[in-house]
């Protein structure tokens, strides 16, 4: 750790134990994903349901999944998400910390207050990290969502994530993996910027 000209403790990226940093980050992310993944499956099924679908509510979707597939049905596409999202999370964390160092150097000459400098630097870093990670997150989302709804409400069935990927490439090419990429960037980058800006400025205010 190192002390910046802001008078607060910042991560020294060059001296950081990156193995522990990435393992801890990936572990936390995996744990959160295990807990929340069934919610994504249920939400996705509700979004693609037609007017003729018998399952009209979250509870009916849960009952339908448990009846036909059991608990594993709540985790369709989970393996694909973990395999792809862990590298994406590593990209996010790397971009966040490296960009943050540069961003702090950019804002320091303006002599803003410490909370404002922290908010700007963290906000810039959060937005940049989100843009970089979406290059991996979006294709994973495309594949996992197809697995979530396979065989449901008339949707095609697949033999795993690789089968989905092969069919996307055959029909739409590489561009098929990036459907909705622009909207994802527009949605997640600003929210990431706001979150990290709030986090950075709050630290400065609390530590005073």
Say yes or no to pLDDT of 143 above 60: yes
Q: What is the mean pLDDT of the chain?
A: 85
Q: Tell me the per-residue pLDDT of 156-204, one tens digit each, with 9 for 90 and over.
A: 889 888 999 999 999 999 999 999 999 999 999 999 999 999 998 998 8
Cα–Cα dist 161/77, whole Å? 7
Burial status of residue 57 (CB atoms within 10 A of its CB: 0-12, 13-18, 19 or more): exposed
Q: Tell me the per-residue pLDDT of 62-79, one tens digit each, with 9 for 90 and over.
A: 988 898 889 998 998 898
> What does the pLDDT read at residue 53?
66
What's the whole-model pTM score? 0.75
Handedness of CA 34, 97, 103, 85 (dihedral sign): negative
> What pairs with residue 9 in β-bridges?
3
Per the CB < 8 A criterion, the answer to whether 125 and 100 are in contact is yes
Q: Which spans in 11-160 are helix H?
A: 18-48, 58-68, 78-107, 114-148
Nearest Cα to Cα of residue 134 among 78, 190, 173, 172? 190
What is the C-alpha radius of gyration for the chain, rounded to an integer number of angstroms? Answer: 21
> What does the pLDDT read at residue 130?
94
Q: Tell me the per-residue pLDDT of 94-104, one tens digit each, with 9 for 90 and over.
A: 899 899 989 99
Say yes or no to pLDDT of 2 above 80: no
The span from the first CA to the last CA of the chain, in angstroms, equals 19
Nearest Cα to Cα of residue 68 among 41, 95, 91? 41
Q: Tell me the per-residue pLDDT of 14-35, one tens digit each, with 9 for 90 and over.
A: 566 667 767 777 778 778 888 8
> What does the pLDDT read at residue 182?
93
Say yes or no to pLDDT of 13 above 70: no
How many percent of the chain have pLDDT more than 90?
44
Say yes or no to pLDDT of 144 above 60: yes
> What does the pLDDT read at residue 163?
94
> What does the pLDDT read at residue 5?
45
> What does the pLDDT read at residue 7?
42
């Amino acid at each position: 750790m190192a002390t910046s000209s802001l008078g607060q403790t910042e991560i020294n990226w060059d001296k950081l134990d990156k193995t522990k940093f990435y393992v801890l980050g990936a572990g936390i992310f995996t744990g959160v994903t295990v807990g929340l993944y069934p919610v994504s499956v249920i939400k996705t099924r509700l979004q693609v349901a037609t007017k003729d679908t018998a399952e009209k509510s979250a509870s009916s979707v849960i009952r339908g999944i448990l009846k036909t597939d059991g608990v594993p049905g709540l985790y369709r596409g989970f393996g694909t998400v973990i395999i792809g999202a862990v590298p994406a999370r590593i990209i996010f964390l790397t971009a966040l910390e490296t960009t943050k160092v540069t961003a702090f150097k950019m804002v320091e000459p303006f002599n803003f207050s410490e909370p404002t400098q922290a908010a700007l630097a963290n906000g810039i870093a959060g937005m940049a990290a989100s843009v970089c990670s979406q290059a991996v997150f979006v294709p994973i989302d495309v594949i996992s969502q197809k697995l979530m709804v396979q065989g449901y409400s008339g949707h095609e069935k697949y033999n795993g994530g690789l089968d989905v990927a092969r069919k996307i490439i055959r029909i739409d090419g590489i561009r098929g993996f990036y459907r909705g990429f622009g909207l994802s960037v527009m949605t997640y980058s600003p929210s990431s910027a706001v979150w990290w800006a709030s986090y950075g400025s709050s630290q400065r205010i609390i530590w005073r």
